[in-house]
Amino acid sequence: METSVYRKPTHTDVYLNWNAHAPNIWKTSTIRSLVKRAFKVCSNDISLNNELNHLETVFTINNDYPKRVITNIIKSEKERTDTNIDPTNASDEPSTNDEPTNTNTETPPTIITLTLPYAGHKGETIINKMRKHINKTIPNTNTTKIQVIYNTKKLGSKFAIKDQTKEEHQHNVVYHAKCPDPQCHSDYIGQTKCRLLKRVIQHNKQDKNSNLLIHSNDKNHHRVWLDDFKIIGKGFKSNFKRQISEALHIKEKAPDLNIQKDAYRLSLYN
């Protein structure tokens, strides 16, 4: 039986780009993990060389990695693999040496962990200078090691990465509508699960039971349209929360055209 690395036909060979705003340790760890996988999975030299050549091509051409970085990682992993002792070659005969075996009794080093925001190349330069300063300050560097963990932020935390949805296309909203007649101060508060534009059209001509439409016909006022609507609540995950919000707004603003029953009777406010 022979084994090798398998990739799905949909695999794109796109990894964390070398020019990405991310710590270099993340980038080198990406290629290092794939190289280690190649040495562990590939059962013969032919499949191993094919996999290593594939990784070198993919990371240098598709992901802009310097060739020296990939070469050094492959070289170090090969040396580490070659120096490992094969347990099948170990002798099963008992040792004739009666002297006690020396065991490593050294105390493990103390690890100091620093959690810092990632600040690009300048930030990594500062960290390297700090490590050198600590190594000079502490007499025995084998007793202390500095470990840095970087915090990163998503692009969405800095600016919107999606186009903003127009108000008329938003749904699950509570809205406030006013009569378009300049001399009239009548208004209405409602809620809808569908898009606001669809509800506006219903108030304009389709919903014969709409208080806005009835008001326009009775008073001979202009019918409402998008400019007369304003969203006052959105982002509701359920009908219950949306209807409760509508009832609260009705209690607060007391619009004169809301003559229908409340979706929920708010006993606390009555």
Distance, CA of 152 to CA of 265 (rounded, Å): 47
Name the residue with higher pLDDT: 242 or 138.
242
Q: What integer best gives the mean pLDDT of the chain?
A: 84
Quick check: 182 and 221 in contact, CB under 8 A?
A: no
Q: Which pLDDT score is estimated for 268?
A: 55
Q: Domain limits of the chain? A: 1-83, 110-152, 167-269
Q: What is the pLDDT of residues 76-117, one digit of tens each?
A: 999 988 886 454 444 444 444 555 555 556 677 777 787 888
Q: Which pLDDT score is estimated for 95?
A: 46
Q: Which pLDDT score is estimated for 248?
A: 92
Of the options 3.40.1440, 3.10.590, 3.40.50, 1.10.10, the CATH number for the domain spanning 167-269: 3.40.1440
Q: What is the pLDDT of residues 116-140, one digit of tens each?
A: 888 888 888 888 888 788 777 766 6
Closest alpha carbon to 168 in 195, 204, 150: 195
Cα 148 from chain centre? 21
Give the number of residues written for the chain. Answer: 270
Whether the full predicted model's pTM is greater than 0.75, yes or no, is no
Confidence of residue 148 (pLDDT cuts 50, 70, 90): confident
Q: What is the pLDDT of residues 30-59, one digit of tens each?
A: 999 999 999 999 999 999 999 999 999 999
Residue 198 pLDDT > 80:
yes
- The architecture of the domain spanning 110-152 is 2-Layer Sandwich (3.30)
Q: Which pLDDT score is estimated for 120?
A: 80
